[in-house]
Amino acid sequence: MTSLPTAIPSSAGGTKLGLVIDLDICVGCHACAVNCKEWNTSGHSAPLTDWNAYSDDATEDGDEGAWGVWFNRIHTFEAGDGEDARTVHFPRSCLHCETPDCVTVCPTGASYKRAEDGIVLVNADLCIGCKLCSWACPYGAREYDKTEGVMKKCTLCVDKIYNENLEEQDRVPACVSTCPAGARHFGDLGDPDSDVSQLVAERAGYELMPEMGYKPVAEARKMHPALSVIFFTTASGAGYGLLVWLALYAALTGDADPLIGWIGFPLALGLITAGLLSSTFHLGHPERAWRAMSQWRSSWLSREGLLAVLTYIPALLFAAGWVLLGRNDGPWMLAGAAAAILALITVYCTAMIYQCLKTIPRWHNGFTVPGYLAMPGSGTMAGGLVLIAAISGSIGVVVERWLYFAEAKHVSTLYYGEEFA
């Protein structure tokens, strides 16, 4: 017998609202998904957009065919053999984790966890639609609304469970109130004496992926990042690498060759700028991109954005001394050293955006940071070969980066299957 709690608290104390779903009872009728859609399309996260809802043709990017925002999806599997064979209906919705990585990686603070009840929500007014939270979520619970340009997710019907205009028995999530089999239960998992906590104890309830060190045993979801993300990591990485080489050349030779300066700096700063600008193209709200620098205390993406901007200050001073004054000594050399250090730290932050994602084993390992730090500068050197070397190096990085993204797989289909990709 199995039951699936949304979250089993690791320690007593504090309200932790969540769901318990009995997989032995669920009949896979999808009534919970439909009622969830009906309530929430006019509630806290409204609207839950649909596109060509009755089309059989669903394309990958969702611009054609059918797609829609659903906070609750049901997947059906055949499990066991012979007399032990059975059909299992498995839900996919937010588990409102105690330590949600979707909150940690968010660069704007749009994803947050409420201290009073543990519910994880999204502030649509702060969301820039970068989708990084969906990569960090191992359960596939995040839904991107292409029409609104923001991420949305299960709210545990926060506008219903606290609604004093409803009768006490009706203050439960829509999926719970509509379940005809009584498979879904709602309550405080932080209270060991609550009905849901007792149910978990009686029915041997378990958490999904409790170890947070996921080891997929089946084919997993392939990642499909926007081309602008690949271009950004490639172009800006090459630009930062060239900037580092220019600083090293100046420090080792003391030479301020005008030709190297006039070729190297426009190329380096141009690649960096083009990359940074392209990084906004995939956002649902590019006009809010500046918010991505606000959560530098917790988000590697926020740190990357902040450092990328700060790097311009010493880089421009270094370029001005070299190109306009023909000097790269004294304060100009210090500016070059500062630019090189900030460039390396920025690339390090870029690498950590991906390495910190526990959901993607290909990225969550010790090779990601060295790979990012090594690749940008692989083809850039001083002298008349700067342009050729930068181009050849960039081509190599493009190939490497494309394979890096294309082969990355998400752990979510460990439970939901290859069709989730």
pTM over 0.95: no
Dihedral angle sign, alpha carbons of residues 359, 362, 363, 364: positive
User: Between β-strands 150-152 and 184-188, what pairing exists: parallel, antiparallel or unpaired?
Assistant: unpaired
| Distance from C-alpha of 79 to C-alpha of 91, rounded to nearest angstrom | 15
pLDDT tens for the chain, 421 residues: list them.
344 444 444 434 578 898 888 888 888 899 999 999 999 988 778 888 887 666 666 555 545 566 788 888 888 888 788 887 888 888 888 888 888 889 999 999 999 999 888 899 999 999 999 999 988 888 888 889 888 999 999 999 999 999 999 998 899 999 999 999 888 999 888 888 888 888 888 876 666 665 553 222 223 344 566 788 888 888 898 899 899 999 999 998 888 889 999 999 999 999 999 999 999 998 999 999 999 999 999 999 999 999 999 999 999 999 999 999 998 888 999 999 999 999 999 999 999 998 888 887 778 888 888 888 876 554 443 333 444 444 545 555 555 555 555 555 665 555 555 555 5
Ranges of H-type helices in 188-226: 195-202
Are 95 and 111 spatial neighbours (Cβ–Cβ below 8 Å)? no
Are 250 and 336 spatial neighbours (Cβ–Cβ below 8 Å)? yes
> What ranges do the domains of the chain cover?
4-221+411-420, 227-409
Residue 346 tokens, joined: 């920025």
| Distance from C-alpha of 141 to C-alpha of 391, rounded to nearest angstrom | 40
Residue 372 tokens, joined: 């990012």
Q: Residue 348 CB: number of other CB atoms within 10 A?
A: 17
User: From 3.90.180.10, 3.40.50.10130, 3.30.70.20, 1.10.8.80, which CATH number describes the 4-221+411-420 domain?
Assistant: 3.30.70.20
Phi-psi map region of 330: left, alpha, beta (phi>0 left; psi -120 to 50 alpha):
left
| Distance from C-alpha of 388 to C-alpha of 406, rounded to nearest angstrom | 27
| Distance from C-alpha of 46 to C-alpha of 26, rounded to nearest angstrom | 27
